[in-house]
Chains A and B, each alone.
Chain A
Amino acid sequence: MLSYILSRLVALLASLAVASVVIFVMIEMVPGDPAAFMLGLNAAPDTVAALRAELGLGGSPVERYLRWVTGMVQGDFGISYTYQVPVAELVAARLMVSLPLAVMALLLSTLIALPVGLYAASRRGRAGDWSVMGITQLGIAIPNFWFAMILVVIFAIQLRWFSAGGFPGWDAGVLACLKALILPAVALALPQASILARVMRSAVLEVLDQDYIRTARAKGLSHRRTLTDHAFRNALIPVLTIIGLQFSFLIAGAIIIENVFFLPGLGRLVFQGITQRDLIVVESVVMLLVFAVILVNFMVDIAYGIADPRLRRQ
């Protein structure tokens, strides 16, 4: 098990290294000088040069890359050009919105998808199964940001149960904040739940074909107990992988959904960074998101190794 974890750890570090180089090179390719951009057209050349040095833009690309990476490892993400505050502070504040949103969406989709998938599998080939398959097929086809807009029309504009967007801030109370995140979380969870329910269904069906299920039934275990005790638990392994893979889609989806609901999360931070040419923010937040995805995949690999010892030998 230790060598398995080590091999995954090496893969994790290699991925991070390559990802950081790719992101750094891409940002280097952006035309224009951020210092000149910040100071405007009439800036004197020596003022621009001074600001360049202050922003850490001096030196060769290799030096800048090393400075960026070592800074990040120490928790120093640089100073935002436009906000004039450390990027780490900005990110921490935005995470307070993005993280609860991601967790809510993930919980919601899992809580919906697992029972629904199990139900569909238990009704294989019958009306209940067909309707679940039909509804999830539709759920996969719906763009989450469009679904978000429709939710706003129904629940914010027509029924006035929720506000159409914005975030009150955690000072305003936990309940008010959770309420502001409900519609975005539902919009994010719908396509995820649809995919997950289908995966759950086929995973359970696969397990139900196994000999040990027949044995369980033969020794007198009821259909229901077989499903909950044997099928459900064994089906969780492939489902776990998909939940891990979905995390990257969740992050991507959250970027768009945050824009629909004007939530001050990481996604909006990236967009503001792009429009304001605040490249240090874009660079660091993108690296952080990639890190999160790679880390989650690493943890899924480890969990998978714990759940299924055969994989460790690979």
Chain B
Amino acid sequence: MRQVTSAFVKMPTSLIVGIMLTSLFLVAALVSFLWTPHAVESLNIAARLQPPSGDHLLGTDHFGRDMLSMLMVGARTSIAVAIVAVGIGMGLGVPLGLLAAAHRGGWLDDLVMRGNDLVFAFPSLVIAILITAVFGPSAFNAILAIGIFNMPVFARVTRGSALAVWTQDFILAARVSGKGAARISVEHILPNIANVLIVQGTIQFSLGILAEAGLSYVGLGAQPPLPSWGRMLADSQTMISFAPHLAVLPGLAIIATVLGLNLTGDGLRDLLDPRLRRQR
């Protein structure tokens, strides 16, 4: 317990800023389920392209929809897609990495690692485009496409960190007491590499937000009427000369979220890995 409190005292500034930025958008996304300033489904052409006012804090878009409400619901889409994609990557990648580490040097290890190299060699967006071309554009297929490319990242990080833990004495003790490789992986290896996985998860989360925005921007992600930051940017493109705020606001939302997550990831790494702290 003492360790935990001392860690919080030394919490890096980047972590504080990161968590604040990230939670701002998490809260906005959660609140949007219960309440938005205006309904995002209601079109009001008469009130289109309005500048910020008391009624519409961030103005309105080309259909007269409230920009703040759109951004809040868009946050929900981006965050949901990214979280599920990271979940898929972790859910498949971590067991594969543990398996590879448990059978270090064996054919299973080889198979997992060569498979990883292969997925890595694929330009992810190109394959995402292929997936959406085959199965049709949707938020679900965007999740699938991003998730698949998270898998090798987690498998590799898991294997690398797990190998280091396998050499520890307490693992030897567990083996002597008769535990099998699977049990050791779950009961002893996993808790000891959780730090690294959390940090990597944060980074993949931010990459997922960027990827979702890119896919939605080119029309392969979330489909209308579901608002998404990437789609808002695509819609704004033809109006950019007379309504730049339509392009600037969703962009800033993406940047702030990604920045927040990256700062959180960096901060957590500093906090959880004392060796790195000494190096700086």
Instruction: Enumerate chain A interface residues (CB-CB to B < 8 A).
Output: 11, 14-15, 18-19, 23, 26-27, 29-30, 125, 137-138, 140-143, 145-146, 149-150, 152-153, 157, 248-249, 251-253, 255-256, 259-260, 270-271, 274, 282, 286, 289-290, 293-294, 297
Contacts and interface: CB of A to CB of B under 8 A. Distances in A.
B122 interface: yes
Nearest to A156: B241
A253 B118 CA distance: 20
A143 B213 contact: yes
A180 B134 CA distance: 33
18 contacts: A11-B117, A27-B134, A125-B280, A138-B259, A141-B258, A142-B255, A146-B213, A146-B250, A149-B233, A150-B248, A271-B218, A286-B126, A286-B129, A289-B123, A289-B126, A293-B121, A293-B122, A293-B123
B201 to A, nearest CB: 17
Interface residues of B, number: 41
Given A26-B131, A252-B123, A153 B255 contact: no
A143 B121 contact: no
A256 B125 contact: yes
Contacts of B217: 143, 145, 256
B118 A153 contact: no
Contact of B133 (A19, A141, A282): A282
Interface string B121-153: 111111101111111000000000000000000
Contact of B255 (A27, A138, A270): A138
Contacts of B259: 137-138, 141
B118 A19 contact: yes
A289 B123 CA distance: 8
A153 B123 contact: no
Interface of B: 114, 117-118, 121-127, 129-135, 206, 210, 213-214, 217-218, 233, 236-237, 240-241, 244, 247-248, 250-251, 254-256, 258-259, 262-263, 280
Given A142-B255, A152-B240, A30 B123 contact: no
A30 B134 contact: yes
B276 to A, nearest CB: 11
Given A146-B250, A255-B129, 5 more contacts: A152-B240, A248-B124, A286-B126, A293-B121, A297-B121
A146 B117 contact: no
B122 A141 contact: no
A252 B125 contact: yes
Nearest to A289: B126
Contact of B121 (A29, A145, A252, A290): A290
Contacts of B135: 29
Contacts of A18: 118
Contacts of B134: 26-27, 29-30
B233 A146 contact: yes
B123 A248 contact: yes
A152 B247 CA distance: 12
Contacts of A23: 130
Nearest to B122: A290
A153 B214 contact: no
Given A15-B121, A255-B129, A143 B251 contact: yes
B247 A290 contact: no
Contacts of A150: 247-248, 251
A88 B280 CA distance: 52
Tell me which of A30, A149, A150 has the highest count of chain B C-beta atoms within 10 A of its own C-beta: A149
